[in-house]
Amino acid sequence: MKYHALFGVLLLSASPAIAEDLIYLECDVKATETTIQSSTNEILEKRDLATVGFYKIDTINSRLTSDNSGDWEDATIANGIATGQFNEVENGVTVVGKALIEFSPPGVFNMQYTASQDDILLKMVMTGTCQDTDRETAEKGMNQ
């Protein structure tokens, strides 16, 4: 009986970043955003950005969500890495891209995508590093 109680304590004291098969990450991300006129291939604007992103990874259901959406995205989960590809059309904007997040152990973050509408193409390349965070911090960050 003592072993069962000890096992329960060990389970409850697990890392706060891993709870209910959900992993919470805080990622420092640098991005390059390039806006191009498709018909001429002219670069209209190019800028560098830095931000902090928060991610929740559901390892059981192979999905993830971020501070940029309240929706879950399907992901491939293998060897501590979540990867995903997306191809969506919403409100006349076509978005195509791919993402990779190392979560066990936390590490590299990479995302690349293009968004196009009419004669405008937006290319985004994002790189960064992630670390574990707790549920409260991640959810607060996702709601900002």
CATH classification at residue 67? 2.40.160
Domain count, the chain: 1
Q: pLDDT: is 107 or 10 the higher one?
A: 107
Structural domain contains residue 39: yes
Would residue 1 count as lying in a domain?
A: no
Cα separations in angstroms, 61 against 23, 57, 58, 107, 114:
12, 9, 6, 21, 27
Residue 55 in any domain: the answer is: yes
- 30-42 average pLDDT score: 98
Residue 140, SS3? helix
Within-domain flag for 11: no
Q: Per-residue pLDDT tens for 40-58?
A: 999 999 999 999 999 999 9
Q: Please report whether residue 8 resides in a domain.
A: no
